[in-house]
Amino acid sequence: MTKKFLAALVLVMILAFSAYADQVVRLGVTGSVYDEMWAPAKELLAKEGITLEVIQFTDYVTPNRALADGDIDLNGFQHQIYFADELQSRGYKLTNIANTFVVPLNLYSIKVKKLDEIKDGDVIAIPNDPTNGGRAIKVLATSGLITLKKDAGFNPAKEDIEKYNVKITIQELAANTIPSALPDIAAGVINDTYALDYGLKASDAVFEDQAREHEYWNLIAARTSDLADPAKVELYSKVVKAYQSPEMKEALSKLYGGFFRPVGWDEDLLAPFKK
């Protein structure tokens, strides 16, 4: 080998190593709790030369649009039923690549301490997106505040309410605004990340959600087109492995007291895309 050839080979190896070392994955989330939650995974990925950037969004609509548009590489903020609705209604070409956790959707209040203190005329807020709104309505039904029609589907709407056992008014608000609305309403059904951002704990709930169905499992999503690239599949597999790690499991238990419950970590959803 000539000196020129060896120099060129060394340069190629340096560039290849640099490209690997400089790998960046941009992950879209909603709620500052994810910065803390993903910290153990970020540390594990950093040891492999991968920088995980957690990108904050303030609503549930933007992260899937940003992923579809290529502004981020992955997102991890939604459950299965919301994801399916987004794909159907907006035509996004996205794929679930990993299960993460399941959390309750609880009823909170700063005005009443017990469920039976809610009275006729009180206003109860629920998320205004169809999937979380439907889940919130089921929470109200389970609590006994309302009764649903027998033919109500898995994701009911207000029209599926047969009877108001307590004559409450259900007000639909953007999910991220419900915590700040608590001073003006009797109670609100609040999504996990927004509850935590507001300083609420699961133990503060007036009524705790009992649903643990597969449809409410949260997930990590990627662009479907990216999964045709073996290099990206390998990279995303490392992100999934870092999340579904003993370090993350310990952090979820220690930091949130069981609020976020790991589910489906034994399922390799990227297996069909590995070559």
DSSP 26-85: EEEEESTHHHHHTHHHHHHHHTTTEEEEEEEESSSSHHHHHHHHTSSSEE---BHHHHHH
How far apart CA 201 and CA 179 sit, in angstroms, is 12
Q: What is the pTM of this model?
A: 0.74
Q: Lowest mean pLDDT of 182-196, 245-259, 260-274, name the range.
A: 245-259
Average pLDDT for residues 81-93, to the nearest whole number? Answer: 96
DSSP three-state, residue 218:
strand
Is the model more confident about 20 or about 262?
262
95-119: pLDDT as tens digits? 999 999 998 889 999 999 999 999 9
